[in-house]
């Protein structure tokens, strides 16, 4: 199974850190955030990785190369300035991906065991959900559709290509496709209770580095 790391966002909330550096290359414990993700995937036996990029994407390619030194094989899906949002970016990269395939947001810090993700999927999508952080207190999805409390989508999931079969190339979000899958009873989920941090602000990045270095 192949994995896609989403790395095309502008990182507006991370400015000024992202004025000259794409968010996935911001440093955590002395190396780029995206490198941690690549190494975690490779450790789980997932070494074929697709990375999309837009803003300062040439820096990402220069930093990571073809992935050989990480034990990976990296392909890139370059997007025009302004990016394609999550859905459009995945659709553009579909020819490079397996079916099903893993998707990981490029701005996460987690110890989720990627080897636990299902390699076969009856549903259109499988999501890893986490406890709701302060910045998303009402959550996104339920484990079961019978009144369970909504949890937050972690940015880690497994998708079938059929999820995108009615989509047209261009800019569009992923969330409506996932909610449609819920309505079709074609979405499964799990609750992960380990370490998960959405590195969405400079303050969260600084706190993560402070924790990791003490």
CA 37/CA 138 separation, integer angstroms: 27
C-alpha dihedral sign at 62, 63, 67, 68: positive
Per-residue confidence (pLDDT) for residue 61, from 0 to 100: 96
Nearest residue to 174 via CA among 68, 81, 52, 63: 52
Question: What is the domain extent for residue 120?
Answer: 3-212
**How confident is residue 170, by pLDDT bands cut at 50, 70 and 90?**
very high
* pLDDT score at 30: 83
Give the per-residue pLDDT at 82.
Answer: 67
Provide the 8-state DSSP code for 207: H
State the average pLDDT over residues 126-131: 94
Whether the Cβ atoms of residue 8 and residue 53 lie closer than 8 Å to each other: yes
Q: Mean pLDDT for the chain?
A: 89
Question: Which pLDDT does position 213 carry in this prediction?
Answer: 46
Model confidence at 210, pLDDT cuts 50, 70, 90, reads: confident
The pLDDT of residue 214 is above 60: no
User: Picking from 7-21, 85-99, 194-208, which range would have the lowest pLDDT averaged per residue?
Assistant: 7-21
What is the per-residue pLDDT for 11? 63
Cβ neighbors of 14 (< 8 A, separation 6 or more) are 23, 26, 199, 200, 201, 202, 205
Least Cα distance to 125 among 176, 63, 172, 192 occurs for 176
Q: What is the pTM of this model?
A: 0.91
Vertex 153: Cα angle to 151 and 155 (nearest 5): 160
Q: Domains in the chain: how many in total?
A: 1
The domain that holds 120 is classified in CATH as 3.90.550.10
Give the mean pLDDT of 38-53: 96
């Amino acid at each position: 199974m192949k994995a896609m790391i989403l790395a095309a966002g502008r990182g507006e909330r991370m400015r000024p850190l992202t004025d000259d550096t794409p968010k996935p290359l911001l440093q955590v414990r002395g190396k780029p955030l995206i490198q941690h993700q690549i190494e975690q995937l490779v450790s789980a036996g997932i070494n074929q990785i697709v990375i999309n990029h837009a803003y300062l994407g040439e820096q990402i390619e220069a930093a990571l190369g073809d992935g050989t030194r990480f034990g990976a094989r990296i392909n890139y899906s370059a997007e025009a300035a302004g990016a394609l949002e999550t859905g459009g970016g995945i659709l553009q990269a579909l020819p490079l991906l397996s079916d099903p395939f893993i998707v990981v947001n490029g701005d996460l810090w987690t110890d989720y065991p990627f080897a636990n993700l299902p390699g076969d999927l009856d549903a259109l999508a499988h999501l890893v959900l986490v406890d709701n952080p302060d910045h998303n207190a009402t959550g996104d999805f339920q484990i079961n559709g019978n009144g369970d409390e909504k949890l937050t989508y972690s940015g880690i999931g497994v998708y079938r290509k059929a999820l995108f079969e009615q989509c047209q190339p261009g800019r569009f979000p992923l969330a409506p496709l996932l909610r449609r899958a819920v309505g079709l009873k074609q979405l499964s989920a799990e609750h992960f209770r380990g370490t998960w941090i959405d590195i969405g602000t400079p303050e969260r990045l600084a706190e993560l580095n402070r924790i990791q270095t003490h």
